[in-house]
């Protein structure tokens, strides 16, 4: 069979490197019986439409940023809740708790999750040193979803909406003064061109997920299906390793290019944790039962 696989991120991003390897593994394991063409960087289907395109059978398999679906069910967004899971160990534990719930939710959309790989832990980009939460007060803080907006407000910052392509210009002109993203995203976008300080606060560890259309998957013969699952398991293990390595490599890249990489002070972390707890309490009021069960399971 020939499958098309739209992915949102460019070729050099480690997620895409991993996916290309995944496609090669399947091609080799099936002797070309299943040939997956990877369409990277949103070149075939835009990021926001990938899930629905796989669901509708327009393409058979695809990748997207899992918490993009947080507005559909809070369960998809637990990995982007600030200061819930902040290390790879925690992230792994959270994914173990999240996976059965997500599998069930996606099954309703005729989708089967194959594997998920985390981004490096999210850090803080600013143009001055941030020693305490008070230093964030009044800063224009890039927020693109409800959780981030809440976070910015609780930190006393001004949530500001800036679309990805406008980020460099927005920093240069002061339209935005702080953002949270991974060291990969920062290094790939040459963040040192417009921002001076990076504080690895490890706010959360979000994931990309690879899903396959249920009907397309079931149309494969037994041997091919197990080849896909095997390659997926390998890709997940490889992806987590790549992500960990990426964290160190890209943080070093930020430093080499003249950015001040400042380890967060105990005071800052304590303040941020407090905000995280407050958010968690409010989140409990509105989240779905499934989402709450994930967090309860994780907290065990």
- Positions that interact with other proteins (CB under 8 A): 2, 4, 10-13, 37, 39-46, 48-49, 52-53, 55-59, 68-72, 108-109, 138, 140, 143-146, 149, 152-153, 157-166, 168-170, 172-175, 188-190, 193-194, 257-258
Residue 151 or 240: which CB sits closer to other proteins? 151
CB 155 within 8 A of CB 137: yes
Neighbours of 159 (CB within 10 A): 16
Closest approach, Cβ 230 to other proteins, in A, equals 26
Nearest partner of 204 among 122, 149, 120, judged by Cα: 122
Instruction: Name residue, tokens 């993009």.
Output: 68
Question: Could you write out the DSSP letters of every residue in 262-280?
Answer: -PPPHHHHHHHHHHHHHHH
Residue 229 or 249: which CB sits closer to other proteins? 249
Residue 118 or 186: which CB sits closer to other proteins? 186
Residue 18 or 143: which CB sits closer to other proteins? 143
Based on DSSP, count helices (H) and strands (E) in the chain, helices before strands.
Answer: 10, 11
Closest approach, Cβ 73 to other proteins, in A, equals 9
Sheet strands (E) in 177-246 = 178-181, 197-199, 207-213
Residue 34 or 162: which CB sits closer to other proteins? 162
User: What DSSP state is assigned to residue 54?
Assistant: H
- The token pair at 82 is 């600030």
Residue 37 or 284: which CB sits closer to other proteins? 37
Closest approach, Cβ 199 to other proteins, in A, equals 21
- The token pair at 136 is 């964030």
d(CA 254, CA 256): 6
Residue 90 or 166: which CB sits closer to other proteins? 166
Closest approach, Cβ 250 to other proteins, in A, equals 12
The helix-helix angle for 266-286 and 289-299 (nearest 10°) equals 140
User: What does residue 61 show for φ and ψ, rounded to 5 degrees?
Assistant: -150, 150
Closest approach, Cβ 236 to other proteins, in A, equals 24
Closest approach, Cβ 237 to other proteins, in A, equals 25
Closest approach, Cβ 284 to other proteins, in A, equals 18
CB 195 within 8 A of CB 171: yes
- The token pair at 237 is 């293990």
């Amino acid at each position: 069979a020939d499958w098309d696989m739209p992915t949102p991120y460019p070729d050099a991003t480690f997620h895409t490197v991993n996916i290309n390897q995944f496609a090669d593994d399947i091609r080799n394991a099936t002797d070309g019986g299943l040939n997956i063409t990877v369409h990277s960087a949103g070149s075939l289907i835009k990021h926001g439409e990938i899930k629905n395109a796989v669901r509708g059978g327009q393409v058979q398999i695809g990748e997207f940023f899992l918490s993009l679906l947080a507005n559909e069910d809070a369960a998809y967004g637990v990995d982007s809740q600030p200061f819930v899971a902040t290390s790879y160990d925690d992230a792994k534990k959270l994914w173990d708790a999240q996976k059965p719930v997500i599998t069930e939710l996606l099954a309703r959309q005729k989708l089967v999750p194959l594997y998920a790989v985390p981004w490096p832990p999210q850090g803080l980009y600013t143009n001055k040193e941030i020693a305490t939460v008070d230093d964030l007060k009044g800063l224009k803080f890039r927020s693109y979803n409800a959780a981030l907006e809440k976070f910015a407000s609780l930190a006393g910052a001004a949530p500001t909406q800036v679309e990805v392509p406008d980020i460099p210009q927005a920093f240069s002109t002061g339209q935005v003064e702080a953002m949270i993203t991974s060291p990969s995203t920062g290094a790939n976008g040459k963040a040192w061109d417009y921002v001076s300080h990076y504080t690895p606060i490890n706010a959360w560890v979000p994931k990309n997920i690879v899903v396959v259309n249920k009907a397309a998957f079931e149309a494969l013969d037994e041997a091919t299906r197990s080849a896909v699952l095997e390659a997926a398991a390998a890709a997940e293990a490889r992806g987590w390793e790549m992500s960990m390595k990426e964290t160190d490599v890209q943080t070093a890249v930020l430093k080499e290019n003249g950015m001040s990489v400042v380890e967060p002070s105990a005071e800052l972390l304590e303040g941020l944790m407090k905000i995280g707890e407050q958010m968690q309490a409010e989140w409990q009021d509105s989240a779905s039962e499934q989402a709450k069960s994930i967090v309860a399971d994780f907290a065990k």
